[in-house]
Structure 1
Amino acid sequence: MAPEKKIVIEDENEKATMESVVDPAAETPDEKGNVTHSPSDLEAQLAAARAEAKENHDRTLRMAAELENYKKRAARERDDLRKFANERLISQLLTVVDNLERAIASAAADNQNGQSLVDGVSLTLAEIMKILEQNHVTPIESLGEPFDPAFHQAMCQEACSDQPPNTVVQEYQKGYLIHDRLLRPAMVVVSTAAKNGNADVKTVNTNA
């Protein structure tokens, strides 16, 4: 009985793929016919792997830094939202404070008949100021202080001989802070140097 013959059918596509993967020029057969890569090729592959690893490492560091910055920014935004959530309400409440202060000043001028009114309004104003203080709202001390455009809104200038120039000498309306943020600037009159000893008033808006 004749031995069976094995029939081998070569796949041309597979052969072409294998030939494209293995670059004969980059391989060096040894004495036994085994194919090995040259040292220069191994060094090139190692350098490429190191470059890729460094790039991945740098990308990871950048992503970690961006994530940390996002966390800090989100924390600041949450903190600001908590601190200043009632800013609009308090700003409107300041108008009530202004009216109460004017009522006290007006009634105090008529001290014969207005003392009971002054006492009542003063108690109301004190309660409102207590609420404002609990919400971290504080008035800006302006009188006698140097003019600061970050906290003051100059309504006019007044020549004064008893105050240094650029000093707040009168306050039309108080300014307030909420935490460390300006809630409302103070409307003030700013001093200028007196001319020839005469203290006249010059209505000039310094913000213009």
Structure 2
Amino acid sequence: MAVSLSNNFSLYNPPKTLISKKPTSYRHFNPSAISFSINKSKSPLLFLSNSKTPFSFNSSFSVKATNFPSQINDQDEVHLDDVKNTVNDGGEKSPTLKSLLKVYKEAVLIGDERTASEVESLICEVENEKNELVTKTSTLRAEMNSGKERYIRLQADFDNFRKRSEKEKLTIRSDAEGEVIGSLLPMVDNFERAKQQLKLQTDQEKKIDASYQGIYKQFVEIMRSLRVAVVATVGKPFDPLLHEAIAREPSQEYKEGIIIQEFRRGFLLGDRLLRPATVKVSAGPGKKKQSTVVKEPTEQSAAAAGVDDSR
């Protein structure tokens, strides 16, 4: 039923209130499909009709239906309450800036100042939340970097402690081995001394020497398994870190500073000195002895001799 109004325009159906019945599922209409041409009308009005026939106002206000849906359903209307309900149903999400901008754009198009102001306040809230999140993110990033630096320092300290502990452990073990092996070195001296003094004359003495040599060989193998080595002496340059000089004499065979005789063996445990070797060092070739020339007796000596003979 058409209703006749003044100003020579007609309306087929009464205007429908724009309320969304299903706020969680709506479709935005395209505001660009509406074009306005306002001449000199004092109060232009916009009514959306369910009629398929487009309408126009003769009072210099018109709506073109280009690319505009012929019928607007309840699901096509967008209102600020829809966004609020959508984001507040779960109680966890916040309205996105994109959705707020869409609502703000539509509110401006229809002249809804209250909705526009509410959207502006919500946009301010979103901006404040964003700034707070940026601040929190910066703080957390700084704390993370600080924690990473502390972790790196602790890791370095732990590595240094582990290396120091391993070194101390090896040192303690080496000291213990050195003490035990050092207490056995006099036995080596006794074996060497006995070997030098023993004179093999009878078969019984030879049997004793064979048994003794077997025991000494076994003892030497055990010392080698413990990384014990003998300090080189005769023919080697004197080293104050390895040798102990107790004598020095000229030598025609060895240069100066070369060891010419060993009195007591020295031993090493790995790179550690257990006992220095006692040695004699060459002082170099000695001076040649001057040959004595026998001189002929002089006249005085002969006269003296004659005197003595006469006496």
Instruction: Name the residue aligned to 1:91.
Output: 182
Instruction: Name the residue aligned to 2:283.
Output: 192
Query: In structure 2, what residue type is equivalent to 1:159?
Result: P
Instruction: Name the residue aligned to 1:144.
Output: 235
- Pair 1:162 & 2:288 matched: no
Structure 1 residues 129 and 52: alpha-carbon distance in aligned structure 2, compared to 1, 3 A threshold: same
Structure 1 residues 154 and 51: alpha-carbon distance in aligned structure 2, compared to 1, 3 A threshold: farther
Identity of aligned residues (%): 30
- Pair 1:112 & 2:217 matched: no
C-alpha separation in 1, matches of 2:272 and 2:288: 40
TM-fit CA distance, 1:123? 2.0
TM-fit CA distance, 1:72? 1.1
Q: Structure 2: which 5+ runs fail to align? A: 1-120, 129-135, 290-311
C-alpha contact (below 8 Å) 1:84/1:178 kept by paired residues: no
TM-fit CA distance, 1:162? 0.8
Instruction: Name the residue aligned to 2:263.
Output: 172
Matches within 5 A, 1:74-89: 74-89=165-180
C-alpha contact (below 8 Å) 2:243/2:276 kept by paired residues: yes
Query: In structure 1, what residue type is equivalent to 2:265?
Result: K
C-alpha contact (below 8 Å) 2:261/2:281 kept by paired residues: yes
Alignment TM-score, normalising by the size of structure 2: 0.44
TM-fit CA distance, 1:57? 4.2
**One of 124, 149, 153 as aligned partner of 2:215:** 124
Q: Give the structure with the larger strand fraction.
A: 1
Matches within 5 A, 1:8-87: 56-87=147-178
C-alpha contact (below 8 Å) 1:140/1:176 kept by paired residues: yes
Structure 2 counterpart SS, 1:85: helix
1:164-194 Cα distance to aligned partner (Å, 9 max, x none): 1111111111111112211111111111113
1:88-117 Cα distance to aligned partner (Å, 9 max, x none): 121111101101110110014xx3244344
1:38-71 Cα distance to aligned partner (Å, 9 max, x none): xxxxxxx999988776655444322221110111
C-alpha contact (below 8 Å) 1:139/1:177 kept by paired residues: yes
Query: In structure 1, what residue type is equivalent to 2:225?
Result: Q
Structure 1 counterpart SS, 2:255: coil
Structure 1 residues 106 and 64: alpha-carbon distance in aligned structure 2, compared to 1, 3 A threshold: same
C-alpha separation in 1, matches of 2:222 and 2:288: 46
Instruction: Name the residue aligned to 1:101.
Output: 192
Query: In structure 2, what residue type is equivalent to 1:128?
Result: F
Query: In structure 2, what residue type is equivalent to 1:106?
Result: Q
Query: In structure 2, what residue type is equivalent to 1:189?
Result: K
C-alpha separation in 2, matches of 1:80 and 1:107: 40
Alignment TM-score, normalising by the size of structure 1: 0.64
- Pair 1:134 & 2:134 matched: no
Aligned residue pairs, count: 164
C-alpha contact (below 8 Å) 2:255/2:285 kept by paired residues: no
With CA pairs under 8 Å and 6+ residues apart, which has the higher RCO, 1 or 2? 1
